Amino acid sequence: MDSTTWVGATAKQIARAVRRGDASATQVVADHLEQIGISDPALGAFRVVRGGEAITEAEKVDDQEDLANLPLAGVPVAVKENTPVAGLPTWHGSAAARTPEVAEEDHEVVRRLRGAGAVVVGVTRMPEMGLWAVTDDEDGPTRNPWDLERTPGGSSGGSAAAVAAGLVPLAQGNDGLGSIRIPAACCGLVGLKPGRGAVPVDFGDKDWFGLVENGMLATTVADAALGFAVLAGQVPGKLVEPSKLRIGVSLRSPAAGVKPDEPNVSAVTKASKLLVDAGHDTVTADPTYPTGVALGVLATWFAGAYKNSEGLPLERLQPRTRRHIQLGRAVTKAGLVRQRQRDAWRERSIQFFADRSIDLLLTPALATAPPPAVQYSATAWRKNMWANASYAPYAAPWNYAGLPAIVVPVGFRPDGLPLAVQLVGPPDSELLMLAVAGQFEVLNPWQRHALV
């Protein structure tokens, strides 16, 4: 971190300095807005930057008499564009999908961030209706700060790019089939998808039948834990060093015919060794991914697009989106979105941990490198489906089960892009996974930002 700017500081460092009076929220936010102006034209991470409004809100933070109870005092944050921010339209990934009116009030997670002292500097881009694991729209692709020719993932791609480039220390995202964890893996970040019910969702009928969870993207485990505590309505505290755990390790892909490439296999090997170095036991433990679950995930994905398209100008939506909606209409009419199937998979997944006597499961985060940053929105639906399924199959089953999962950086691919692994746990294991991720960070510190 440059001593003349707060850009590059962690959320915890900023909040501590603002609470102590060593820095002003106004200066911190001004520093980050300046960096956004410099770096974002190349990245395309932000849909809207709230320059003047953010400075005004930072001044209000500085004017508060008691900052002691603000865990995010003065911290600049970004919010994904499908999450209502008072005074802004809710874009949902394109001009065609945006709401016609501005939001009258903040979404609950935005309200909690602001209540903790954070300042919303802007909203970040996502693919249309959040359907894809790549981020692009009619304005062009959002780019990965580690390699501008690669995608930052999706659907929280803009949030991940903003954090990885140091434009904000924290960004909110949401995860319906991997939309926090996939961008975290692409951009070398910590990305936690909480389990069902841990954090408010409140997207009405746009929650993909309950698959979606809100969470945060961060460059450190401590910041990820702080962001999770704020969103979950908890009092932030120190992570507790875990006792000796038994952790299952699996390379098995949930997608038939898709296998992890050598760098992603090596990432799991490295993470397994780190776990042993931290004092834990590791055992091979392959989940069985039934065909019915894969079909259920696909049906819910399609049906979610159909359900969320109500009232939208379908003729203005991207061709890939329209195809998704058509399939969603068909599977909805056929009754293929089945809650009992999801409930059965959840029970089976929870039982998997008990039957194998494991506390957590370690898997690859991705199967291949992030795809190129191109305008997939202008290409055929089939190409989009293959691009998504072939590089990022490991996340979706755990949304379908409603279990918590986290992505943690572990190094770099030979091409210089980040490598990461995924940890999955039973219900209410978010803090345990964060604590284990913290052990990874201590034993194997990672480079926090790409140099854009």
Q: How many CA atoms lie within 13 A of 205 on its CB side?
A: 8
Residue of 80, 193, 206, 307 with catalytic role: 80
Q: Which of 204-213, 323-332, 336-345 has the lowest mean pLDDT?
A: 204-213
**Tokens of residue 286, six digits:** 């392959």
Per-residue model confidence as pLDDT tens digits over 112-167? 999 999 999 999 999 999 999 999 999 999 999 999 999 999 999 999 999 999 99
For the stretch 300-319, pLDDT in tens is 999 999 999 999 999 999 99
**377 part of the active site:** no
Whether residue 155 lies in the annotated active site: yes
Is 390 catalytic? The answer is no
pTM: 0.98
Q: Is the pLDDT of residue 420 over 70?
A: yes
155, 156, 349, 429: which one is catalytic?
155
pLDDT for residue 131: 97
Q: What's residue 2's pLDDT?
A: 60
pLDDT digits (tens, 9 = 90+) for 264-296: 999 999 999 999 999 999 999 999 999 999 999
Characterize 93-128 residue by residue with b for buried, 16 or more Cβ atoms within 10 angstroms of its Cβ, and e for exposed: bbebbbeeeebeebbbbbebbbebbbbbbbbbbbbb
pLDDT in tens, 32-64: 999 999 999 999 999 999 999 999 999 999 999
Quote the pLDDT of residue 449: 98
Omega before 155 within 30 of 0, i.e. cis: yes
Domains along the sequence of the chain with CATH = 11-291+336-443 (3.90.1300.10)
Q: H or E segment at 120? A: strand 119-124
